[in-house]
Every structure is written in structure tokens, then in C-alpha cells.
Chain A
């Protein structure tokens, strides 16, 4: 099998098992929706400014990602299928397939959560294209990084609590820039003049996925 078809096979296998159990999707989605409701309920009729809205949106997305995206390799370890994967596939296509799977999960979450957030918090989005670009690239980066970190914690004890601890410092560049950029997107004005922010998110995401796919080999090979 070629590199691409192996990557595709890993992605398809995960997608299929996801559609049968809906475990990751359910956990990440329910968590996210509950968070949005909790925040919205607590804020009631208060009208926070764009910065507070941006901050809350990203706090919700961060913890949703933590709850769902860590599952990729932990799941394999729990079901005892990690060694099968080791026999069937090289590290790099496996990592990329898992990263694409995580990316799809993250995008589904974004597509569900952000409109819900906008509606429930009655947020104005004067710059939807910039908003969407920020969400997309920040989501890509988070998915890529969480894939590697999931591989890192898969063999560790107490990984449920360890995962966010490991992830926060590495995700902080994304988190920081994403909050700043979302703030801009929620304000009237021309945020595309600050396209540096989106460029940074895009390049960090690419670097994280490429770097991760090389480093993954060392933690995967026994």
C-alpha cells in the first residue's frame, strides 16, 4: 500500500468506528454544548464586550478539545489494538490519518459550537470571513497538536488529568493569537489588515503537524 492509501485507511477505520460508537463526537459535542449553555445561562442578559466573548469562546473550545481529541490513541491503548496498528502501519501515515480524523472532529465541533455560541450569547460578527478563517486554522493546529500529545499520554498513568496539563503550554501560542484575532473579528473594522494573525495560526498548525509526524515515530516504535 502506498503512503496516501495507508493514511486514508487509518482515517477510514477511525471514521467507521466513530460512526458506530459516536464516542468521541458525542463526548466533545455534549461537553461543548453544555459549556455554551452554562456560560450563556450565567451571563443571562449581560452584554460582554468582544474581548470577553472571544475569551469565553476559546475557553469553551479549549476544554472541549481536551475532552474529545485526547481519545485518538488512548482508545487504541484501552482496546489493546495499539500493537495491531504497529504491525499494520508505519508511524507517519498512522499519525497523519489520526490527525485528519481529529481535524474532522474539531471542525464538526466548531461548526456546531460557534453558531450556538453566537446565537445564545447574541454576539455580532461583523467580519464572518475573518472569524471563520481564525476558527479553521486554530482548530487545525489544536487537532494536530492534540494528536501527538494523545500518543504521548497513551502509555501513561492518570492520563485524563495529565493531558490538559501537557497541552496547555504547547497550545498557548494558538490560544493567545486566536483570542486576539477573534476579538478583532467581533469588532467592526477591517481585520484582514491584520492577516498576520491568520498567517501565524496557519504556519504554526502546519509546523505542528509536520513536526509531530516526525517525532511520533519515537514514541510509537517499541
Chain B
């Protein structure tokens, strides 16, 4: 298992290096967005991982409520912590792109709103966790908040924009406006960063479990 993990890690490193090199040197500039279009290959994976991480956190939350165990609580916390960092990266890369494409770092576009709300939920989640001493209560309360807050994100992303109005955000993939080589790099980038996330998640889980073991919990 250890050799497999090491091999996978080397592969991941090579893969991501190739993707990053390709995004800047091999891939042609995009038609509408020009050079700024390259940020897509960093920005979209970040946003995707932030959402995926939130989903994982909510899954662990549901498991905590069904059957309270330290293992799932650690899972929820680790997923949220990583998700928060990716969320910050997605927000920043998005703001940089927005400055060039729409003329302002921030204009409360529905996608921007949903990603920043995701970030606020993560922050509130950690605020809540650090405010409760009893581990058993903290586990359940944090899970309830994560699940409850989770429902607002798809609403902000998909429902409210339809109810109140338009979005500026480009929908390149859906319109089929991406040429073949760009699409290949796009998908490889998403796959590469997801791999990176899995590695980070695994590592954090192991660290957290060791810490909890040292504190005398059975995990």
C-alpha cells in the first residue's frame, strides 16, 4: 500500500507539472477571453474541489448524526478545512479573472455569491466548532449546521439566479465552445487537482487520527 501511494504521488507530481506547463505553453489562447482564459484551468478545479469537499463534509455530517463516531467527525473537519482553502483560491482566482473580463474584482455575480457564501459557511463552521468544548456535542452541532447550510449552496448557484435575473459568468463547456486541445487540458487539470486533493485529504486524515490517538481517543 505504501509503495502504491508513493508511486501515485510521483505520477501525480509529473501529471500536474505537465498540465501546468501545457496550460501556459502548449494550449492556444482562447478566442473570446484571450490570454485570461488560461486561468480557467486553475479556477474551475478549485471551485470544483471546494464543492466536492463540501459534499464530503456533509456526507460525514450525516454519518455523524446516524452513528456518532470520532472517525466521521475528523472526516468532516478535514474535508471542511481543505475545502475552505480551495474555496479561498477559487474566490481569488475568480476575482482576478473578473477584474480583466468584467472590469471589477467583485460584482456579486450569482457564481461569485455562491462561492463566497460557501466560504462564509466554512468560516462559520470553524467558529462554531471552536466555541463548543464537549467533543460529543461539538460533533453533532457542527454536523447539523453543515447539513443545514449545505442546502443554501445549490439554491444560490442554480435557483436564485433564475428567479432574480442574469449571470455574467461564462459557460464555456456547456455551449461546446472549447476546442479539443483546450478541453483535454481542462479535464486533465480537473483530474490532476482532484488527485492532489485526495492526497491532501488522506494525509490530513492520518495526521488528525494520530493527534486524536495521542489525546486518548479511540479512532
Contacts and interface: CB of A to CB of B under 8 A. Distances in A.
Does B associate with A? yes
Q: Is the interface of A mostly helix, strand, loop or mixed?
A: helix
Nearest to A200: B163
Interface in B93-151: 113, 117, 120-121, 123-124, 127-128, 131-134, 137, 140-141, 143-145, 147-149, 151
Interface of B: 65, 113, 117, 120-121, 123-124, 127-128, 131-134, 137, 140-141, 143-145, 147-149, 151-152, 155-156, 159-160, 163-165
A61 interface: no
Contact of B164 (A148, A169, A197): A197
A185 interface: no
Contact of A196 (B65, B149, B163): B163
Contact of B152 (A148, A153, A170): A170
A172 interface: yes
Interface residues of A, number: 29
B166 to A, nearest CB: 12
Contacts, number: 83
A48 interface: no
Q: Is the interface of B mostly helix, strand, loop or mixed?
A: helix
B160 A173 contact: yes
A115 interface: no
A215 interface: yes
Contact of A162 (B117, B131, B140, B156): B131
Contacts of A196: 163
Residue among A156, A168, A177, A207 facing the most chain B CB atoms (10 A cut-off): A156
